[in-house]
Amino acid sequence: MLHYALIFLVVAIIAAVLGFGGLAGTFAWLAQLLFVVFLILAIISFFRRAT
């Protein structure tokens, strides 16, 4: 999931450089959403293994 977040971030940066602001914003939002989901799942996984 972190891999896809980084891909969306790179695509957002490329779209922003090329002048596609709306598309860049959408991809940046998707990258942020996937990163937050990754963090939540990583924390849950950490605490399940710690017990």
Mean pLDDT (10-residue bins), the chain, 51 residues: 91 95 94 96 90 66
* Structure token pair of residue 13: 């940066």
Range of the domain at 11: 2-50
Domain total of the chain: 1
CB-based contact 8:24 (threshold 8 Å): no
Which ranges of 1-51 does DSSP label H, i.e. alpha helix? 2-18, 21-50
pLDDT score at 51: 66
